Amino acid sequence: MQKWARLLYQPALPLYEGKRTTSSPEHIDISRRTAVEGMVLLKNTNYVLPLDINTKIVLFGKASAEYIKGGGGSGDVSCKYVRSLYDGLKLKGVKVFEPLIDFYKMELKEQYEKGYVPGLTKEITVPSDLLESATKFSDVAIVVLNRYSAEGWDRCDIECNNEFDPWPPKPSLPKLSGKVFPKGDFYLSFAEEEMIKTVTDSFKNVIVVLNTGGVIDCRWIRDNDKISAALLMGQAGMEGGVAAAEILLGLENPSGKLADTYAGRITDYPSTESFHDSFDYVEYTEDIYVGYRYFETISDAASKVVYPFGYGLSYTSFKEEVVRTQESDEGFYIDIRVTNTGNRKGKDVVAIYASAPRGKLGKASKVLADFAKTKELFPNESVVIPLHVKKYLLASFDDFGRICEAAYVLEAGRYEFYLGSDVRNALKIDFCFELESDEVLCRLTHKLVPVELSKRLLCDSSYEEMPRGAHRDINESFIKRMSPGTEEAIAPEVRHVDRHLLMNNLKEGASPLIDVAKGKITVDQFLAQLSDDELIFLLGGQPNTGVGNVYGFGNMPEYGIPNAQTADGPAGIRIDKETGIVTTAFPCASVIACTWNREIAREVGFAGGEELKENNLCVWLTPAVNIHRNPMCGRNFEYFSEDPYLTGKMAGELVSGIQENEVGACVKHFACNNKETNRKHSDSRVSERALREIYLKAFEIIVKEAKPYTIMSSYNAINGVRASENKELLTGILKEEWNFDGLVMTDWWCRSEQYREILAGNDLKMATGFPERVKEAMELGALKRSDLLPCAKRVIETILKF
């Protein structure tokens, strides 16, 4: 097939001869295996699990008939089927109490007709006669609970409607959430509490399964002796119910570990206090103390943890021992021998945590420094796992110049290391590193300095006041901005082409882009023949073609530039059902993170990349790597973890897998998109240090190691400047410090001004550009042709990669 044939002609051809790979049995099995490895066994008193396959089971909770495969919005995927826990158990031949399932289905249908949506339905009270029949059927009950969240709102009843909205009216999900969960969906609803009490009072063996995409209160699981076992199923894609059934029945051994800290109350997370203080801004006053960095460091916080970061049980046991340590110039090599000491085959997660001196800058008590997952080990089998801890990861960014201004520094003192997947119970190893004097690893310059952040948390539990500067207007512009909301849902212009001879598709005298691909001319020479108007056109989104539904870029047939289509869906390639094409629904990123398995993340990426390419699409808008700063963020299901290193490494493998297919990944949302409410106007106020060490770190790892084709800037502002207009972020850090040579695109229909984005280094405006506004800025002298050329060059260079 010739270069760009899939872009130019949209052939409906399989990627491989004679067989379509999209939603193939092989890809669906990758989804199932990922789900298995990402589920976390939270509790297993007296080894009630695994269940015998002949055990009769009563399923309680409307979620047993209402499985949520993933979150909503751009993260949703159209797939050929979805299998719940009920479906999975039935496929394995387990006898389930059917009358209760039938009852739940009937009641749910009524709720849907009243406007409730899956995952935002009320728990259903079971009639006494049905309960009595269930107790006679079996003494084993599985309680299934679910939660649902989506793009555009957070896990609460608060919503912001402060601008024009062109979308058709639809039910308010925040209001519906508040109706179903009066205390907030972090907690059990009153109906759920009553249902759990009824079940635990009526059945000898009670098991809980959580079909949730984010953290919830689990004290009621840990503290209730009547609950024998609990499995965090997560939102595990189309085969999630099968994977959960296989774990419950012992056909698979659970090996997932938590990628977040599970605390008991939403107020235990320091970011909760000011999460909804304002629609206009969010203060990141907890600074670097996010997730376990807070709970393991700040006094009195440890007791608030129900299940710590890295926690997860298995049906077997493992012994971990250090067999080699070695220091190098840039880090430390630590080899770990893992032995399966139990009587079942299984996989183990090996992690090294590092502890640095608190010094002048202050540090978290431990940070994840490296990790790996073993292959499946049989009883008494051993394997040696090499881990590598980089000194750069242990360094602190000195934003106040206490040691060295705007530099990454290692402070003098002892650096100790801990072995174990769980941050709370990891054990100190004999090896340590002693640094006699402070060491500067990397000198940079100040960027994205906050001017309205009031204070930040220190490791001794106190706060320090932050220097204040002049207020920055996030709507500053040389030309009058559009009325907020009028940019929304605008489709790109379909260009007019005059009648012409069939054989004369190219502009007269033009050199086509294929000449660049063949090495006949350079990109600069190619762009030199384009007018200013044509350059501007290149910097905006283009109409859909084929099965594309979120627009493309390029699209200048008169120069032989194809229209490269993008695709949504971090949990799979999202194609509209109307096309007749269904794709593989993989587990959400929050489940993939809990696998702690880099290889399986790469498999998911490669499979998704195959489906992208087979359907003539070019850029998969994934992975989303924003940090789980607070459980309330409505999009946490789409993000990986509270830890930037785990996020960066797992998402980086996903990117590498995708791009093995010579199609692009788009890493998003750059940066600090940690709240959905009023996300297109909210200012994230955060220190330089927290930015560097927490919120930019995953992006940095991915850019440097996986080299993504594209990055998506976020809707929000950062310290008073909109992300897509932020030159210090997009040019200073991303391109100059990290040497990113790919394309930067906006998130869809952002509220930024395109000429300011071009000046900042944001190359492409999606879903459509506004060429008339860019030309106005040029006429007023705010923009020059020389500003357009670097952005246009990156658009062309990206298309050349496909």
The pLDDT confidence band at residue 770, using thresholds 50, 70 and 90, is very high
For residue 194, give the H/E element and its range: helix 190-202
Residue 444 vs residue 6, higher pLDDT: 444
Residue 508 vs residue 516, higher pLDDT: 516
Q: Which pLDDT score is estimated for 569?
A: 84
Query: Of 776, 758, 749, 766, which Cα lies nearest the Cα of 163?
Result: 749
| High-pLDDT (> 70) share of the chain, % | 100
Gap between the Cα atoms of 744 and 77, Å rounded? 24
Q: Which tens digits make up the pLDDT trace of 619-664?
A: 999 999 999 999 999 999 999 999 999 999 999 999 999 999 999 9
The torsion region of residue 237 among left (phi > 0), alpha (psi -120 to 50) and beta comes to left
User: What does the pLDDT average to over 334-344?
Assistant: 98
Task: Give yes or no for residue 570 having a pLDDT over 90.
Answer: no
Residue 19 vs residue 246, higher pLDDT: 246
Residues 29, 34, 37, 40, Cα dihedral to 10°: -120
Provide the β-strand partners of residue 685.
Answer: 283
The pLDDT confidence band at residue 213, using thresholds 50, 70 and 90, is very high
Q: Do residues 657 and 796 touch, judged by C-beta distance below 8 A?
A: no
Helix ranges, 62-146 (H): 85-91, 98-113, 128-137
DSSP state of 732: I
Mean confidence (pLDDT) of the chain? 97
Q: What counts of helices (H) and strands (E) characterise the chain? A: 23, 29
Q: For 434, list phi and psi in degrees, rounded to 5.
A: -110, 120
CB atoms within 10 A of CB 435: 16
Place of tokens 């379909």: 494
Q: Which pLDDT score is estimated for 454?
A: 97
Task: Give yes or no for residue 104 having a pLDDT over 80.
Answer: yes
Provide the β-strand partners of residue 143.
Answer: 60, 208
The pLDDT confidence band at residue 7, using thresholds 50, 70 and 90, is confident
The pLDDT confidence band at residue 315, using thresholds 50, 70 and 90, is very high
Q: Which pLDDT score is estimated for 541?
A: 98
Gap between the Cα atoms of 782 and 777, Å rounded? 5
Active-site residues, by number, are: 747
Query: Of 148, 172, 176, which Cα lies nearest the Cα of 160?
Result: 172
Taking the chain, what is the end-to-end CA distance rounded to the nearest angstrom?
A: 13
User: What does the pLDDT average to over 707-715?
Assistant: 98
Place of tokens 């950062």: 718
Provide the β-strand partners of residue 263.
Answer: 305
| 3-state SS class at 578 | helix
Query: What DSSP letter does each residue of 269-287 carry, written as one string?
Result: SGGGTTTTS-SSEEE-TTT
Gap between the Cα atoms of 684 and 675, Å rounded? 9
DSSP state of 777: H
Gap between the Cα atoms of 765 and 755, Å rounded? 10
Tokens of 319: 């012994």
User: What does the pLDDT average to over 233-239?
Assistant: 98
Gap between the Cα atoms of 594 and 353, Å rounded? 17
Task: Give yes or no for residue 1 having a pLDDT over 80.
Answer: no
Provide the β-strand partners of residue 665.
Answer: 620
The pLDDT confidence band at residue 10, using thresholds 50, 70 and 90, is confident
Gap between the Cα atoms of 153 and 165, Å rounded? 15
Q: Which pLDDT score is estimated for 496?
A: 85
Task: Give yes or no for residue 495 having a pLDDT over 90.
Answer: no
Q: Which tens digits make up the pLDDT trace of 254-311?
A: 999 999 999 999 999 999 999 999 999 999 999 999 999 999 999 999 999 999 999 9
Length of the chain: 802
Q: Which pLDDT score is estimated for 219?
A: 98
| 3-state SS class at 262 | strand
Q: Which pLDDT score is estimated for 115?
A: 95
Helix ranges, 567-725 (H): 589-595, 598-614, 644-659, 688-690, 697-706
Q: Which pLDDT score is estimated for 137?
A: 98
Gap between the Cα atoms of 623 and 703, Å rounded? 12
Task: Give yes or no for residue 314 having a pLDDT over 80.
Answer: yes
Task: Give yes or no for residue 187 having a pLDDT over 80.
Answer: yes
Q: Which pLDDT score is estimated for 505?
A: 85
| 3-state SS class at 16 | strand
Gap between the Cα atoms of 146 and 123, Å rounded? 10
Gap between the Cα atoms of 313 and 734, Å rounded? 39
Task: Give yes or no for residue 399 having a pLDDT over 80.
Answer: yes
Residue 615 vs residue 74, higher pLDDT: 615
Place of tokens 């394309």: 743
C-alpha distances (whole Å) from 337 to each of 37, 135, 427, 649 are 21, 47, 15, 22
Gap between the Cα atoms of 276 and 789, Å rounded? 41
For residue 754, give the H/E element and its range: helix 754-760
DSSP state of 4: T
Gap between the Cα atoms of 727 and 585, Å rounded? 36
Q: Which pLDDT score is estimated for 504?
A: 81
Gap between the Cα atoms of 159 and 336, Å rounded? 49
Gap between the Cα atoms of 735 and 430, Å rounded? 41
